[in-house]
Structure 1
Amino acid sequence: MSHTPPPAASSASPGRLSALPWLLRFGLAFGVLNTLLTFENRWPGFGLLYMPRLSFELCIGVAMLMAWVSWRGRLSAAATTWLSAGFMALVAVRYAFVTVPAVLGRPVNVYWDGRHAGELLRVAAESMSAWQLAAGLGVTVVGVWLLGWIVRTAIRTLAASLTWPVGRPWVLGSVAALSASFVAYVPDVRDTRWFFSLPLTPTIVNQSRLLAQVWLPERVEAALGPSPAFDGGLSGLEGPQGRADVVLIFAESYGAVVFDQPDLWAALAPSRAELAQAIALSGRQVVSARITAPTFGGSSWLSHATLLSGVNTAAHADHHLLLASQRQTLVSHFARNGYRTVGWMPGLKRPWPEGAFYGFDRLADDAGMGYRGPDFGYWRIPDQAAMALLHEQELRFDADASDRKPRLVVFPTTTTHAPFHPIAPLMDWHKLTAADGGYRMEDVRTALANPLASQRPTPNYLASMRYQYGWMASYLKDMAPRPLVWVVVGDHQPPALVSGQGATWDVPVHVIADDPALMRILLAGGFVQGLELPAAALGPMEDLTPVLLKLFDGAPPEHAEPIPSVAVGAPADLPAGPLPSGT
C-alpha cells in the first residue's frame, strides 16, 4: 500500500500567506465602491472629480454585508442583483447631490428638479441631430451597463473577501473606530470628519419626507397651517385714474436696527429726511410699522415666501413644502383680479424652477432684465439701474395704451446685501437706460477703491442704506407713475457684525401712496404716520399679509382718524428748517 507523504511544511503561517491577496481583493473592491460614493463636481459644469474621502454609508454597509455573509455563508445572485441596483441608485443620488448645487446654486430638490428633468431632456434632445441623439443614447446605455457590471463585480468581490474569518475582526474594528470618529464630531469644536465625504443619508431622508408630505395633502395642511383668505376684489386700488400699480420692494438687510440703535439712526437721519421730503413733494403720504421677520442676517427667501403667502416659512423644510403646494399667494390673487404680475429679481443668477409656484407673468432675472452697464461686484446690477429698467419696461405709462394692465411687481433689492461693497453712484435716471447702461468704468473703479466691509462693516452698511434712501427718494419725486402703491419691507436684519448682540428680528415696513383712504386703513391697523417706526411690532411677518389684503381690498377702517394734511415741502415728521443736501 503506497503512502503519499504530506507536503513540506512552510515556514510561513497560512494566515500570512492569505493576508496579502485578501487585502488586495478587499481594498480594490472597497476602493471602487467608495470612489462611486465620494466623487465631487468638477466646477463649472457636469463633470466629475475624484476626491480622496471615505463614505460613512459604505463603512456601515460593509459591516452589514459581513454580518450577512457570516450568517448565510455567501451572497446569492439575486441578493447581488438587488444590492447592485440599490448601489446604482445611490450613485445617481450622489451625482445629483454634487451637481445640482454647482449648476443651480442650491441643494437638490427632488420634487421640483424631478418635475423639470423631463423638460430639460426634451430641450436637449431637440437641440441635437438624429445621429447625435442616437450616439448619446448609445453611450448612455453602454455607460450604465458598464457601471452596473463594475458595481456588481465589486460587490461580489467584497462579499467573497468578507467570508475569510481571519479578516473579519480587522474589518469590524476599523468600522467601529471610524464610526466613533464620525460620532465624536462637534461643529466648530472638534473636527473628526475631515477624511469623510458628506453623507447622503440626510438628503435622502429630507427629500423622502418632503415627497411624503407633498403626496399627502392633509400633512401639508397640518405642517403649514391655514392661509389667509385671498378672496377680495382689490377694490381699494380703484381710483379716478384707474387701478393703481403696486410695487412690493423687499429691501435687502433693511432691519429695525437702523431705527433702534441711536448711532445708526443719527447717521441715516439726513437721508431719511430727504426721502420723507421727496414723498411729500410728490404729493404722496407714507405710514410705517415694524414686523418680525422669520429669519435674521440671511436666507431672504424665507421672508419673501412668508409675506407673499401669509404662511410662516421660518423653517427651510416648511419653505420647501410651501413651494411644492398649491397655496394661493399675493401674486396669484392679483393675477386673478386682472393684474400683470412681474418678479423683478436682479439677484437671481441661476435657474429657479421653484419660482413656478408663484406664477409670475414675467420673471426677470439677472440676465433677463437687459442691463448693459459694468458689473458692480457679485451683485452686479445696482438697485437704481434695476429700478430704471423696471420703470422703462413695465411701469412707464403710455397714454395711448388704453388696454394696459395694472402691475404688481415684486422687487428684491441687492445693493444693501452683504458685503455692502461696491456701491454705485446715484445717476440721472435717463442715462441708466442708455445703450451703455449709463455707468462708466471710472465709476466702478471708484466704488472698488472703497474699503471692504470686512474692514469696516458698519460704515459700508450705512453707505448702502444712504444709497437706498437716495434712489428711492429720487424715483418717487421724479419718475414714479400715478396711481401707485409702493410697499417697502425689510427682509431681515443685517448680519450681527452690524446689528450687534441681542438685536431683535424686527424689520421696517413703509407704505407710500397718493390715496389718503388707503393710509387711513393702515393707521387703523397699527401703522404710524411718517418713516419712523413704532416701538412695538405688529406681529410676525405672516400677519402683515392679511393687513395688506385688507388694504388692497378697500375694507373700511375701524375707529380710524383722518390723516393730518401735510404741506408740500414740510412733511409732518420733519423738523422745521432747511433739509440736508442729497447723497
Structure 2
Amino acid sequence: MRVAPPAAIPWLLRFCLAFALLNTLLTFENRWPGFGVRYMPRLSYELCLALVALMAWVAWRGRLSTRAASAMAAGFLALVLARYADVTAPAVLGRPVNVYWDGRHASELVQLAVQTLPAWQVAAAGATLILGSVLLFLLVRAAIAVLAGCLAWRGPRPWVLAATAVLTLSFMAYVPGQRDTRWFFSLPLTPTLLHQGELLARVWWPAAGESVLDAAPAFDGDLSGLVGPAGPADVLLVFAESYGSGSFDQPAMASALASSRTALDDAIRAGGRHVVSARVTAPTFGGASWLSHAGLLAGVDTRDPADHDLLLASQRPTLVRHFARHGYRTVGWMPGLKRPWPEGAFYGFDRLSGDAGIGYSGPDFGYWRIPDQAALALLHVQELERKGHEAARVPRFVVFPTTSTHAPFHPLAPFVPDWPRLAGPQAYTAAEARAAQAAPVAVREPLRPYVDSLRYQYAWMADYLRHHAPHPLVMVIVGDHQPPALVSGPGASWDVPVHVISDDPALLQRLLVSGFVPGLALPEQPQGPMHQLTRVLLGVFNAPGAHELQGFEHVGAPVPAPHTGS
C-alpha cells in the first residue's frame, strides 16, 4: 500500500517533537545532590540506531500496530529506568548501580522510607509514581507511533540513513585523550547494561568458582599477641556504619565533631587504654556494607559484588573461624539483620544474633529499630561482662555492625547514662521514643543529622570505654564505607577510619610499626585496601617481630610508643 507524501513542514515538526521527547528521556542527568533529574542538551546515539530499526520495521510491515507500539514503549521505559538508576546511584550512593545487589535490597529501602516519612507523603509518592508511569507510557507510545507514521513516507528514509551513518562515523572516530568526537553525545547506556548482565552471569553461573577470588591470608598464627597477664583479651570488632574519612577530611564536619572526638580520647585514657589509627580504602561507597564486612573478615578483595557472592559460597577461612580454632567464643552481633541469613554460615560464628535474637524489648527507632547503645548494652550483659574472678572464662571475638549512623540518620535515640536500663524491658521511655520520632527528617540537608549520629556514636563508645568495657579488651573500630554522596559530596574518596583501642602497649606498638599513628586522628594517606588490613591484624595478634608484619608497608621513620599516662 502506497503512503501519500505528507507536507514537509508538518512532517518535520511531528518528527522532531517525537524524537526530542524520546531523546530527552535517554539523556537526562542527575540534579546533584538528590534524586532529581535535569535536562541535558545531548544526543542519544542508541536512539539514532533504534530509529533506523523502527524504519526497517515500518518498511517491512507497512504499519505499526498498537500492540507492537505498546511493547516498544514498555521496553523503552525499561531503558529510561536503567538510565535513571545509572545517573542517580553515583550521586546518591557514590558508586555505580548494581542490579543484583541493589535489586535484592530495594524492598528494604521501601520499608525504610515507609517507616521514616509521614504516611501522607508515602501515599502521595506512590500515587505520583503510578500516575506518572502511566502518563509517561502513553506519551512514549504516542511518540513511537508518530515516528513510525513519519517513517512510513519513503522520501526521508535515505536522509535518515545518511544522518545515522554520519553520526556513527563520528561516534566511532572518538579516541580518548586525542580526538573528541562525542562531545554532543550523551554517555551510552549499552555498556552499563552489558556490565550488569556480566555481573548477573557471574553470580548465577559461577563456572570459575573460587578461582576468580583474590588470594586469602594463611590464617596460620596462634593469637599469642592477645595473651597478657590477665589472660587472653576479648576482641570487639565494630563495623561503624557510614563512618567515612570525610568526617576527618572535610573542615565543616571535622570542626563539628572535634569536641566529641576529644571526649572519646579522654574516655579511652581514663579507662586505662590508648588508641592508634589508620585509614584504609573500603571496597564500597555509600552502601553495600557487607562488601566491607566480608573483605575484612576473609581478607579477600570484594570490590566486585559478584566476588562477594562467590566468597560466601566458598570454603575460604575467616577471622571468625581462626579465633574459634584458638579457643575463642565467636559472636556475630547484628541488630540490623532482619531476615534469615543462611549465607552467614560461611563465617562460622558460634552465635549469630540478628534483630530478633539479641533480646531488645524497647520501642522501635525507625527501620533500624535497635539503637547502637542498647545493642551494646545487651551484648555486654550477655557476652562481655566479667563477673567476679572468672579464671576459666572463654575469651570472646565479637563482630558488631552498627546501624544508628545509617542513612537517613533518623530517628536518633538519646544517649542514656544508665546502661543497665538499656538491657531491660524499659530501655527507653515513651517520651524519649516520641521525641526521637518527632524530630524532622532532613532529606534535603542530611549533613546535620549525619553529624548528630556520629556525635551519638562517639558518646556511647566513650561512656562504655570509660565505665563498662572489660579488661583486657582490644576494640577495633572500622568504618564500613563513606556516607552517601548526598553527605560526603562529589568526588569523595573511598577511605574509612580504623581505630584500635587496647590496654596493651606492646600490641599498639606493633600497630605503630605497621604504619598506624597515635590517637584518633588519621594519617593523610590510606595504608591500603581494607582486605589487606586482615593481614596486619593477624600479624599483630600473633605477636611477631616487626620484620614479620604482613600487609601494609611501614611508611616513614619509626614512630614513638603511645603515651602511657592517664
Same fold (TM over 0.5): yes
Aligned residues: 394
1:224 has 2:222 as partner: no
Counterpart amino acid of 2:561?
I
Looking at structure 2, the residues matched to 202 and 382 of structure 1 have their Cα atoms a distance apart, in angstroms, of: 38
Matches within 5 A, 1:33-182: 178=71, 182=75
Counterpart amino acid of 1:250?
F
Cα displacement string for residues 319-358 of structure 1 (whole angstroms, at most 9, x for unaligned residues): 1101000001111111111111100000011111111111
1:501 has 2:499 as partner: no
Q: Is 1:520–1:557's contact at 8 Å kept on the other side of the alignment?
A: no
Counterpart amino acid of 1:435?
P
Cα displacement string for residues 538-581 of structure 1 (whole angstroms, at most 9, x for unaligned residues): 0111111101111111112248555143421xxxxxxxxxxxxx
Q: What's 1:333 paired with?
A: 322
Q: What's 1:120 paired with?
A: none
Q: Secondary structure at the match of 1:504?
A: coil
Q: What's 1:457 paired with?
A: 446
Q: What's 1:518 paired with?
A: 507
The offset of 1:435, in angstroms, is 3.0
Counterpart amino acid of 1:386?
A
Looking at structure 2, the residues matched to 176 and 205 of structure 1 have their Cα atoms a distance apart, in angstroms, of: 29
Q: What's 1:108 paired with?
A: none
Give the one of 532, 539, 542 matched to 1:553: 542
Counterpart amino acid of 1:433?
A
The runs of 5 or more residues in structure 2 that have no matched partner are: 1-60, 86-132, 141-193, 548-556
1:430 has 2:323 as partner: no
Q: Secondary structure at the match of 1:555?
A: coil
1:366 has 2:259 as partner: no
Give the one of 541, 551, 561 matched to 1:563: 561
Cα displacement string for residues 432-488 of structure 1 (whole angstroms, at most 9, x for unaligned residues): 12232x210100111122221314311101110000000000000100001100000
Looking at structure 2, the residues matched to 177 and 414 of structure 1 have their Cα atoms a distance apart, in angstroms, of: 44
Q: Secondary structure at the match of 1:507?
A: strand
Q: What's 1:23 paired with?
A: none
Q: What's 2:146 paired with?
A: none
Looking at structure 2, the residues matched to 423 and 542 of structure 1 have their Cα atoms a distance apart, in angstroms, of: 31
Residues 455, 563 of structure 1: CA spacing in aligned structure 2 closer, same or farther, 3 A cutoff?
same
The offset of 1:516, in angstroms, is 0.6
Give the one of 396, 409, 413 matched to 1:407: 396
Q: What's 1:24 paired with?
A: none
Looking at structure 2, the residues matched to 225 and 320 of structure 1 have their Cα atoms a distance apart, in angstroms, of: 13
Q: Is 2:360–2:425's contact at 8 Å kept on the other side of the alignment?
A: no
Q: Secondary structure at the match of 2:231?
A: coil
Counterpart amino acid of 1:178?
A
Counterpart amino acid of 2:71?
L
Counterpart amino acid of 2:421?
K
Residues 169, 322 of structure 1: CA spacing in aligned structure 2 closer, same or farther, 3 A cutoff?
farther
Q: What's 2:474 paired with?
A: 485
Q: What's 1:542 paired with?
A: 531
Q: Which moved more, 1:299-308 or 1:219-228?
A: 219-228
Counterpart amino acid of 2:501?
I
Q: What's 2:263 paired with?
A: 274
Looking at structure 2, the residues matched to 418 and 180 of structure 1 have their Cα atoms a distance apart, in angstroms, of: 35
Counterpart amino acid of 2:529?
P
The offset of 1:271, in angstroms, is 0.3
Q: What's 1:248 paired with?
A: 237
Looking at structure 1, the residues matched to 359 and 467 of structure 2 have their Cα atoms a distance apart, in angstroms, of: 22
Residues 169, 331 of structure 1: CA spacing in aligned structure 2 closer, same or farther, 3 A cutoff?
farther
Counterpart amino acid of 2:423?
T
Q: What's 1:145 paired with?
A: none
The offset of 1:176, in angstroms, is 8.7
Residues 178, 231 of structure 1: CA spacing in aligned structure 2 closer, same or farther, 3 A cutoff?
same
Q: What's 2:333 paired with?
A: 344
Q: Is 1:521–1:560's contact at 8 Å kept on the other side of the alignment?
A: no
Q: What's 1:141 paired with?
A: none
Q: TM-score, normalised by structure 1?
A: 0.63
Q: Is 1:490–1:509's contact at 8 Å kept on the other side of the alignment?
A: yes
Q: Secondary structure at the match of 1:511?
A: strand
Q: TM-score, normalised by structure 2?
A: 0.65
Q: Secondary structure at the match of 1:222?
A: helix
The offset of 1:495, in angstroms, is 1.0
Cα displacement string for residues 489-522 of structure 1 (whole angstroms, at most 9, x for unaligned residues): 0001111111111111100000000001111111
Looking at structure 2, the residues matched to 223 and 489 of structure 1 have their Cα atoms a distance apart, in angstroms, of: 26
Counterpart amino acid of 2:461?
M
1:265 has 2:254 as partner: yes
Q: Between the two proteins, what is the percent identity of the paired residues? A: 58
The offset of 1:534, in angstroms, is 0.4
1:302 has 2:291 as partner: yes
The offset of 1:220, in angstroms, is 2.9
Counterpart amino acid of 1:517?
A
The runs of 5 or more residues in structure 1 that have no matched partner are: 1-167, 569-583
The offset of 1:211, in angstroms, is 5.5
Counterpart amino acid of 1:283?
G
1:381 has 2:370 as partner: yes
Q: What's 1:165 paired with?
A: none
Looking at structure 2, the residues matched to 410 and 275 of structure 1 have their Cα atoms a distance apart, in angstroms, of: 21
Q: Is 1:251–1:490's contact at 8 Å kept on the other side of the alignment?
A: yes
